[in-house]
Structure 1
Amino acid sequence: MRITLLHPPHTSIGSRIPRENLPPFGLLCIGGPLIDAGHSVNLINADIGPMTSAQIITAIIDSAPEAVLIGHSGSTSAHPVVVRLATRIKAVLPDVAIIYGGVWPSYHWAEVLNECPAIDVIVRGEGEMTAPKLMAALGQDLRRINGIAYRRGGTPYATASAPMVQDLDANRIGWELVDITQHGYWGGKRSVIMQFSRGCPHLCTYCGQRGFWTRWRHRDPVKFAAEIAWLHRTYGVELVNLADENPTTSPKAWRAFLDAMIAENVPVQIIGSTRADDIVRDKDILHLYRKAGVIRFLMGLEGTDEATLEAVKKGGSRAKDRQAIQLLRAHGIIGLCTFAVGFEEETDRDYWRILKHLLVYDPDQIMSVYATPHRWTPFFDKVKHRRIIDADLRNWDYKHQVIEVPAVPAWRVFLWVKLIEICLQARPKALYRSYLHPDPDLRHAMRWYTAMGRRVVLREIYHWLRHKRRPGISVGAFLGQDRLEEHALALPQKTKSRGRV
């Protein structure tokens, strides 16, 4: 079968401003198994450019597909674009099957099928095993394919949840589908996205990812390091962006990966996300992090108020957050810290306290995110009474404020966030690290991030002035009052151990 994988253009500020583009890893994970199943597969990355709708349609027509599979890592904010493109594709190619996957459609499958007749099938959850089975069954009875949703008798119908992929090394990544020379990050370095693990064992109430992956799993550390080394030697990859929620969850597996990377001895830099607790836990082996190529870790502080951390079940503490930043710096690793705003109890005094605490933390880099409600998270139940101030899903990317803070008007929340970011990035210490740091790799990274941040701030201010935000309907009225089932994949069955007689 001729299959076209489509990565639609993303409109979020963060995607557009850096003028850099990473390969669509999720579609590459699907592409490898489809190629190995005997299909003819090509990929259109419309995020490069980005391509216009007309250019995308022309490229799809030229590929003469029998099926178009659409997916995007930022699926909530990309959803409106997907609907528009699917409608146009179906208008010119009515016989082509359009399959849609990602986090948003996995949960909102019934609404998507009701509202977009052009979309034929939705893949719910992980797609490596589901996609080949679905392609083999197109045109037949789909009820036997787990992990999908489609129309049955004109009504949206979902099959049983698919089992999660237990062996993350069983399905190869279709690297041949992309020209890696077209993808760069970190100031022009040839870069790719990869995953050492999937899922997260922690229970942050607002996280839209924890239920999608169901359980934490990891790749074979030695095989994973070998693949990174192969990418460097074959394609000249210089930087790997780990898409894991928490790659350091297993100390044993993570240590094995570090040792394997050191043994591979390739000049590849690694960035990713982790928890401050894990950095403190690994304080005695942080020198191995740096030796293995780790140059930056993002840590979510999610607010510096202990009551807020407790409310969202973050499980962190201010003492460990600060210690983790200091430990990373001592080992030549950049600490990028995110702080989240938009929780219900916030006041102007809370934002002032966040600024003071962050100045004490002294992070190398800082990034703000806005609490965003997702209907499949516990956070949804706590905020569904609050009012929406931005109903455009394209802005639901964590970089736009979409729900009101009752005690602080939206314009003042925005000013506080920008003030905090500017104060942190314009400190003498931050400027020194950006322009005079003795380590050239760290100096390059800091300078690149500072330049990108300036462009993002200007774009965000422009966007804010253009779009009026007025409180409207509640979150529950906008998304639906009932919380959706959180687990996108079937939970593994627990086996009863036989006791001793």
Structure 2
Amino acid sequence: MGKKRILLVTPPYHCGMLEAAGTWLPLGLVYLAGAVREAGHEVIIYDAMSLYHGWEEIACLIEDFKPHILASGAITATVNDSLKLCHLAKEIDPQVITVLGNVHPTFMYEEVLASGVVDFIVRGEGEETFSELVECLAAEDNPQKVAGLAFLKDGGPFLTPERPFVVDLDRLKPAWDLLDWSVYTYHPQPGSRLAIVSSSRGCVAGCLFCSQRLFWRGSWRARSPEAFVDELAYLRRVYGVDVVMISDEYPTRDRQRWQRILDLLLQRDLEIEILMETRVDDIIRDEDIMEKYRLAGITHIYVGVESPDQQKIDLFQKDIRVEASKKALDIINRADIVSETSFVVGTPDETKDSLNQTLELAKFYDPDMAFFLPLTPWPYTPLYQRFRDYIEDYNYSHYNLIEPIIRPLAMSRAELRRAMFSATGRFFAHKFARLETLTPYKRGFMLTVLQLLLERSYLASEMMSLLVPFKRFLKGNAS
């Protein structure tokens, strides 16, 4: 059996949203690398996205490394660049095997395979499927034996049986040593080293606009608290990580387990700031232990409010009450934890007046950070079928929660875009005008956010006129 050279690559996609907050490592590729390396294959991770490398640099690396297998992941917004990556690899070496995974290829495998540049799609959770595929190819065996794949056979897509999920997540071994750690940082904390870490996988919520329930088949599995905190301690000790983003959709689902994680963090005092998201209901449930959250290092919590209109919440099948969202944000704020949320706008009945009403209610909810995002029905979700008659933009690269793809009846997509950006700018102008009411910790954080919005954000040009008056806060802070 021959050993394979495997190149795991991120496509060079940028939209200006996540880049404003930090440089984020490709956790999925780190897990894949660990799985195939354990079998003895040679693997490197090339994070072209985080390095801001272009196609010429990617081509040079492919030519130098000469991979037998090139693999990447794709969400809907990045799939065009992922396909271009596979096409480039085939141009350089027609014999290279190309593999795509992650959410979009899992559900849109027919469309992806029709491109003619992807040999295999890993459907669903990737570690076991990808490592078995590599072993199969190394042995020159039949890939039909590998569960969890899609590929072309006899001129059409062929699916192997669905693969069961990994039962014990603690046994997976991410290849942290293959990353260039100097790249990854959290911009609100200059000089920081940022990791993304998983403590659980899956979500049991039924939100119609989300891909995660579909991808994880409505399941939820968790790592042990001890293994998770041990990993944070390792990243702190070996790589100097001082900020961690928990990648989970729902890390707090099991309160007993979550409390154990918080207790371990308190005991070990890792000096790590932790950013996370969770559900409104869990924040309300945990009101009595929010001080423990903060003492354990939780400094930033995102909760999905989505809308202050209960009818829209019900439309999205998001099982919360609007009054609960306000309560959850108040609880986070009282704990001196940065609160963040987003509001989905741009449904067919959206108007400038309704968007302004959402803005005013966002001010009342009083999160520290709020963003107004266009409704973006991923093409494999129930919401896509519901709104398909209103979709005007079919360029997947625009499915990035920045560019509106649906046209409301009362406004153009360009008008909606301007109104969204204006609402975000006016929200932050409202927050910055009230900086003196914030705690010293939050005031310092928001001053850094102001600078990032003006200098790095996708919103910068649209918001400049609204936020320039607040530059004096930066000057005062610097002095």
Mark yes or no: TM-score above 0.5.
yes
The structural deviation recorded for 1:459 is 5.2
Counterpart position of 1:47: 49
8 A contact 2:51–2:183 mirrored in 1: no
Counterpart position of 1:367: 371
8 A contact 1:183–1:192 mirrored in 2: yes
Give the AA of the match of 2:61: A
8 A contact 2:338–2:368 mirrored in 1: yes
Which deviations, in whole Å up to 9, do the C-alpha atoms of 1:96-154 show, x marking residues without a partner? 11111111111111111112x22111111111111110001113211111111111123
8 A contact 2:453–2:460 mirrored in 1: no
Check if 1:3 corresponds to 2:2: no
Give the AA of the match of 2:25: P
Give the AA of the match of 1:94: P
Return the match for 2:425 from 422, 426, 448.
Answer: 422
Counterpart position of 2:406: 403
The structural deviation recorded for 1:65 is 1.3
8 A contact 2:10–2:46 mirrored in 1: yes
Which deviations, in whole Å up to 9, do the C-alpha atoms of 1:271-315 show, x marking residues without a partner? 111122211110000011111110011111111101111111111
The structural deviation recorded for 1:26 is 0.7
8 A contact 2:347–2:406 mirrored in 1: no
Counterpart position of 2:98: 98
Check if 1:319 corresponds to 2:323: yes
Give the AA of the match of 1:197: S
Give the AA of the match of 1:159: T
Check if 1:250 corresponds to 2:254: yes
Q: How many residues are treated as equivalent by the alignment?
A: 454
Q: Partners in 1 of 2:410 and 2:291 — Cα distance?
A: 45
5 Å-filtered alignment, 1:119-158, equals: 119-138=118-137, 139-158=140-159
Q: Note the residue ranges of structure 1 that are not aligned, 5 or more in a row.
A: 463-501
Which deviations, in whole Å up to 9, do the C-alpha atoms of 1:202-251 show, x marking residues without a partner? 11111122110121111111210111011111111011111111211111
Q: Partners in 1 of 2:458 and 2:129 — Cα distance?
A: 41
Counterpart position of 2:215: 212
Counterpart position of 2:36: 34
8 A contact 2:5–2:68 mirrored in 1: yes
Which deviations, in whole Å up to 9, do the C-alpha atoms of 1:366-399 show, x marking residues without a partner? 12221111232221221122231x3321111112
Counterpart position of 2:452: 452
Q: Partners in 2 of 1:384 and 1:421 — Cα distance?
A: 26
- Structure 1 residue matching 2:80: 3-state secondary structure: helix
The structural deviation recorded for 1:419 is 2.6
- Structure 1 residue matching 2:50: 3-state secondary structure: coil
Q: Partners in 2 of 1:431 and 1:199 — Cα distance?
A: 39
Q: Partners in 2 of 1:255 and 1:168 — Cα distance?
A: 19
Cα pair distance change 1:458/1:418, threshold 3 Å? closer
Which deviations, in whole Å up to 9, do the C-alpha atoms of 1:60-118 show, x marking residues without a partner? 2211211111124xx21111111112111111111111111111111111111112x22
Cα RMSD of the aligned pairs, angstroms, is 1.8
5 Å-filtered alignment, 1:273-284, equals: 273-284=277-288
Counterpart position of 2:467: none
- Structure 2 residue matching 1:400: 3-state secondary structure: coil
Cα pair distance change 1:301/1:460, threshold 3 Å? farther
8 A contact 2:206–2:318 mirrored in 1: yes
Q: Partners in 2 of 1:16 and 1:319 — Cα distance?
A: 32
* More helix per residue: 2
Q: Note the residue ranges of structure 2 that are not aligned, 5 or more in a row.
A: 464-479
Q: Partners in 2 of 1:316 and 1:306 — Cα distance?
A: 9
- Structure 1 residue matching 2:370: 3-state secondary structure: strand
5 Å-filtered alignment, 1:275-314, equals: 275-314=279-318
Q: Partners in 2 of 1:42 and 1:406 — Cα distance?
A: 49
The structural deviation recorded for 1:321 is 1.2
Give the AA of the match of 1:7: T
Check if 1:345 corresponds to 2:349: yes
5 Å-filtered alignment, 1:188-203, equals: 188=190, 189-203=192-206
5 Å-filtered alignment, 1:214-229, equals: 214=217, 215-229=219-233
Q: Partners in 1 of 2:213 and 2:39 — Cα distance?
A: 30
Q: Partners in 2 of 1:411 and 1:119 — Cα distance?
A: 34
- Structure 1 residue matching 2:401: 3-state secondary structure: coil
8 A contact 1:57–1:89 mirrored in 2: yes
The structural deviation recorded for 1:402 is 0.9
- Structure 1 residue matching 2:214: 3-state secondary structure: helix
Q: Partners in 2 of 1:302 and 1:237 — Cα distance?
A: 32
Q: Partners in 1 of 2:399 and 2:182 — Cα distance?
A: 30
Check if 1:183 corresponds to 2:190: no
8 A contact 1:197–1:217 mirrored in 2: yes
The structural deviation recorded for 1:406 is 1.8
Quote the sequence identity (%): 29
